[in-house]
Structure 1
Amino acid sequence: MIRILQKDNRITKTIFAVVIGAAIVTMVITLVPGIFQDGTTTQQGVFATVRSPGWLGRLSGDSISIQTADVQRQAQQQMQQQNLPPFYLQFVMQRAGQIQVERAVLQREADRLGLQVSDDDLKNFLKSGPYSQYIFPGGQFIGEDQYINFVETYFRLPIADFEQQVKSDLEIQRLQALVSGGVSVSDAAVRADYLKTGTKVKFDYAVISAASISQTINPSDADLQAYFKANSTRYASAVPEERKIQFFSFDSSNLPNGGTAPVSDAEVAAYYAAHQDQYKTQEQVKTRHILITVAKGADAKTDAAAKAKAEDILKQVKAGGNFADLAKKNSDDPGSKDQGGELPLIPTAGLDPTYAKAAMALNPGQTSDVVRSQFGYHIIQTEQKQPASTKTLAEVRPSIVEAIQAQKSSSAATNYGAQLVAEAKKDGIQKTADAHNLHAQTTDFLGRSGSISSLPDSAALISAAFGAAKGAAPQVVSTGEGYAIFQVVDVQAAHAPDFASYKDHILTDYRQDKTPQLLNEALIKLADRAKVLNDLHKAAAEQKIDVKTSDLVGRDAQVTDIGAMSGAASVAFTMAKGAISGPINEGANGAVLQLTDKQEPTADDIAKNFAATKDKLLDAKRQEAFSVFVGTLMDRYEKANAISYSKKPASPLGL
């Protein structure tokens, strides 16, 4: 075969190339994992993987993995921010995961288009972007250690992850700019939009409240009983579960030997040695200063002028001028100038490093030369210095004794609680309480939101009781000032109420169900009558309804008893002067309007707001264009099976 290939025969070589190529493809299909995946992945700890669509993406094996831990962390942060209950986690995780998948798809597309962000791009962004004031204050890098501390404190990420996240954000921004860069809006569209948003109206309006309609609904007992029966499913568990609890409690006064124990010198010394950081005081300094600010990025001429002004003030100080008076007259620090430039005793770690160094170099009463900091030029007068130090054992001994005694008392209470609960498991609540001269008691039936007046804090006990089975072994819980040993002695399951005891609730529900329809009927009646009379005031007077008058308002306004003018009341902007609206029903209140004035923007108004309106429209259209692009791109990736999701774990809720 080698001899054949060595011959100058192009057809033969082509045939062999095809054969060999087919063999390679067959091997790839057989050996490359996921070449014919069905959109799922079984990688441990991976929520989803994203690769390039098409054969090259399958062959290269190059993919972006979205880690389940990252998705869960983002979901939990959203849960905390929105104060959502735990059962929402599955929903929030799916949405958070989808967002990260979309980001991965966009990043891969940006990579394909050569929009990668370099290390230099990242550095320039950190130096001039929104983080610059923290990472490069005054144009100077804060140092590696402080940089790491800043990122870990505010972003809770390792440096490498933070920088990769910023690069990814910048790359997607570049892609968005590329996709939406050609979007434009016509001048006519800008004028039309401002004509719409800039129009203001004034109107009279008659309001009918849902509350007033509700009070007119007075069904008979027969009506309510029929309603109660028809809605039996709704009321099947209207009375929530309740529990009866037997318990006794104790606090430090009930502990054997009063819960107190002597504290030895050795214990005090050991505590002091183990808590040295608590007894250290930072270096601090109290100063007055006069600040002549220099704006960030100011040119050399501006900087020189500020320095010259500071040097002139320094000459006045050295010539005997009153420092406080000169500070009040000249300082640019609004926080201290009215106090004659005086600052409180401050840890030097919280000051600008240059300022702190200069202040600590002075003795109390001395004044510095002109000092340059990131804020500008200072003249500093030191009033008091306090070096870093550690309080002696003698100074802090009383507080240490108190802390150790508190620890011993807490430990004694915990041990006593464990002893009592063990006895209660053996002998029962009542016998155990009697044996230790403690008072056992049994509550009435309590709901989850109930309380026990004899305890300082009964929330933990009631919560634990609703997690325990009837007759289960006694448990011990904290009561805020001590502990309680308890047992659930009876459970009353959630059940339907009897009509008589629940009649008031049924009446409220009946009214809530009937009110919307009756409110709408009343509004229709008012609107129809007003249109017949062509006068809202007369129609409202006939029905004994008050009429109010609005201010001249735009679409972004709020009107009393109507609410946002961007809602149902926005119909007012489409009405002619004198016209009467149909029913405007916002739920809590309904209204009928009669337009009394309408003012559209003038040509001058449109011209003044043209640029801002155009920017707003452009931004909206760019967002719309990019959203369409993202949707199309995601559809392409999904159809190509370029997104592989892990098989979802079974949800305890069956989601």
Structure 2
Amino acid sequence: LDQRFSEIYKERWNELRSQVDLAGQTASYFIDRELQIAEAHDAGITVTREELQDAILQNPSFRREDGEFVGAETYKRIIRAYFRMAPEEFEQRLIEDLLIGKLNALAERGIWISDAEAVDEYRRQREVSDLDVIQLRYEPHLADVVVSEDDARSAFERAGEEYHRDEQRVIRYLVVETAKLRRLLEVDEKELAGYYEDHRDEFLQGEQANARHILIRVAPDATEVEGAEVEVRANGVAAIARQGADFSELAAIHSEDPGSKDSGGDLGWFGRGRMVKEFEDAVFSAKPGEIIGPVKSQFGYHIIRVEAFRPEHQQPFEEVEEQVRFRVVEGRAAAETEARATALMRRLETERPDTQTQWQAIADEDEVVALNQSLPFNAGAAIPGASEGAELAGNAFAAAIGDIHGPVAAPRGWIVWQLEEIRPAGIPPFDDVRTEVEQTLRRERALELTIEEGRQLAERWRLGGDGAVLAAEIGSTVTEARDHRRGAPVGTMGVIPALDREVFSAGEGKVLDPINAGGRGIVVVRVQKLDLVDPVELDDLLDDIRARLTADRAGQLMRAIINERRRDTVVTIDNELIRRFAPTNS
């Protein structure tokens, strides 16, 4: 690795060497190598004596000028002199290299890259465009759309199969609402003070830290070289911070943590257990004002500025009174809710009500009880208002009409329920899906109006209109997408595949017809610049492109296999031994 980075960074490597954990990366390299060898053995891969001999003869050092082998004695002297190891060790290393090569070749044989896939990938990587994009939302036109019942019925009849439903169930249920009960409960100060005294240890606030950080991310599938380059970058940012640069400005420029980047890397106050261990250990062992790192974690490299600490202390009752009140009320409300639901269940089992009127009469007797009817639901679905998981739906599909069940914990409290209806699979009656049909039709018509608006805007743009002015007239702006590649997001609109399909087959200076951007409305695009691949060049490079893609895919596959094997393997690293052999600056 030291030699490899020296070749990459040339004269800069001496100053950068101390910023990279070469020892750790070297250890990681040898661990991965051993795991690859084990994987090759498990796959039944072997190396014959003939293959080993051929590999030896591939090295010019072991051939005379006429191409013949230099002889056994000369061969051994060369290995000892130049490779500084015994011939047996050299040959074992070579066998291992051949095993790994065969393993990679086996991975490549399982991958097929078509011509179309190779062309698409090459274009995606190489072709770029400069675009001006105006987004037109369809929502403002919803108010202009009127959908009559006849319109909705006609749309339903045309697309009836789209509304096909699997077999469904409907339940009615009484819910004892915790929130309503909570508002009725009264708690005196004596009860609150008693709870606080009984739970004093729960209001002991541990030491807290206030810090800012700059996160430099490392991709999960990054190679050793890529990981080292990120580490070098992180060390560079840390060095600038230590020289007195404004940490908040550095965070705004360099940090890749969207949650804190815009606030100068500010993480606020946090205690132990809130952050990943590596980050936490570094912060709580530092001093206020100290800049530490880069600290490596699962997210990447953190450069951290520790702002201040708060020591562990007992929070006084006055400081946590509202928290205590919430706990006391919540505990009583939860217990009382379940008790009332249990009482309701006993009553329902005795009276066996089977009409909506009878169920409503029972609900009306208690102000914290409400009667609900579910929307039709499928097996394995959550039931809005009644359950967040699929267990209740599963029980409903196993129940018979009229069965009463409960009590069951629900998002709003506790419920008791009855299976009211079984709806067979098929296209439901229009009235059951009328609202859904009307909403779909309104969106479609609003989008049609938006497309027409986009056509008019595009035509005015083609005739010389100012894009910024045209966009402002409809309450939008021009998004400038520079060096745009296929699959890249367009501003805040995200990835728009339809835009990519149109743009790269257009001409420079063209204003395209409105492009449907799905739920984001439509976009009108002016193509400012196109940098396309030469078809003749592409045809000449096709085999090379396919080979590179195959190798890339095989590499990804092997990394995934080795990472999985690494997770299942216990590895012990002697860090002290590794440090003793680490290269030093020269």
- TM-score w.r.t. the length of structure 1 is 0.32
- TM-score w.r.t. the length of structure 2 is 0.35
Q: Taking CA–CA contacts closer than 8 Å with sequence separation of 6 or more, which of the two structures ends up with the larger relative contact order?
A: 2
Bigger-Rg structure (1/2): 1
